[in-house]
Amino acid sequence: MRIAGVIILIVSSTLAAAQHSILSKFIASPLNDWVYLEWTIKGGNTCNGIKVYRAEHLDSTFTQIGEIVGVCGNNAQPESYSFVDSFPITNQLNYYALELGFQGRTSTIQINLKGADELISIAYNENLQPLLIANPRIIGSSFSLIGINGHQVGEYEINDNEISLSRYGLENGIYLLVFNSEVRKQVLKFYLR
C-alpha cells in the first residue's frame, strides 16, 4: 500500500525521488555509516549493465563508484538490485544516479547521511510517493502521526524497515511523525498535498 499524493519534505534524513521509464523503484537508505541503494527494473525491460554514480554536490561531476556487468532486468518479471556505498560523504548530502546501459541515466536521488542514526526517515519513490524507512533496531515498535492541530490521526506498527502510510482519511496539510523509544524521541515534519 502506497500513499497517493505528494509530500514536500520539510525535515528529513533521507530523500529519494528518481524517475526513469524502466524503473519502478530507486531509493537510498542509511545503513549504519553506509548508504544502501536499491532499485527495481520493471518486467519486460533490460539494460546492458548498470553503473552507480555519486557526487558531493548536485552541480558537480559524478564519479562512478560501482558497476553491475552483463544484461540486467528480465523480460518476464521485475528484477531488483542493490548496492552498498561503504564510503559515502558523511555529514552532508550524497547524490546518486544510475546509468542503465543503453537506456540512459536516471534522475538524481539524494540522502543526507548526517541522519544515519535516525530512527525513522522519509524517502520518496520514483512517483514522489512517501515511504518511511525504519532503522532495523526499532522493528516491532510503533509511531504516531499527528496533525498540525495536535490531534493524533493514526498509530502504526513497525514490522519492516519500509513502512507505507495509508492516505485514507488524511487531508492535505502539515503532519508530524512521532517516534518514542527508550533510546530517544524523534519527530519528523512533512507536508502532504
**What Cα–Cα distance (Å) separates residue 35 from each residue in 86, 172, 191?**
7, 31, 25
CA atoms within 13 A on the CB side of 57: 3
Q: What is the pLDDT of residue 34?
A: 80
140: cell is 516491532
Q: What is the pLDDT of residue 67?
A: 92
Q: What is the CATH number of domain 7-192?
A: 2.60.40.10
For residues 49 and 70, what is the distance between their CA atoms, to the nearest angstrom? 5
Beta bridge partners of 138: none
**Share in percent of the chain as helix, strand, coil (round to 5):** 5, 55, 40
pLDDT in tens, the chain (193 residues): 333 333 332 223 333 444 678 898 898 877 767 888 889 999 898 889 999 999 988 888 999 999 999 888 889 999 999 888 888 887 788 899 999 988 889 989 988 766 445 566 666 555 555 556 666 666 677 778 888 777 888 887 777 666 666 666 777 777 777 776 655 566 777 666 5
For residues 101 and 20, what is the distance between their CA atoms, to the nearest angstrom? 13
